[in-house]
Amino acid sequence: MLKNLALSLDGTFLFNYEFTSDIFNEQVNDNVTGFRVWGGVDIAFCVLDIDPISS
């Protein structure tokens, strides 16, 4: 489902997602909230308690 990492700042990651259904402000799981923006582009914000460089 995960396509690519689009943005990474201060531990907040912006991913491009392919959703199997329309998602708008729905909780995807404990750490990911996804929503559909204009143009039909699906994105999800994922805040992770990790160090992206050492990981």
pLDDT tens digits in sequence order for the chain, 55 residues long: 344 444 444 444 444 444 444 444 444 444 454 444 444 445 554 444 445 555 4
Read off the tokens for 9.
């700042």
Read off the tokens for 51.
């160090």
Domain count, the chain: 1
- In a domain? residue 54: no
Q: What are the residues whose beta carbons fall under 8 Å from the beta carbon of 23, sequence distance 6 or more?
A: 34, 35, 36, 42
Tell whether pTM > 0.75: no
Domain span at residue 10 reads: 2-47
Q: Reduce the DSSP state of residue 38 to 3 states and report it.
A: helix
- In a domain? residue 53: no
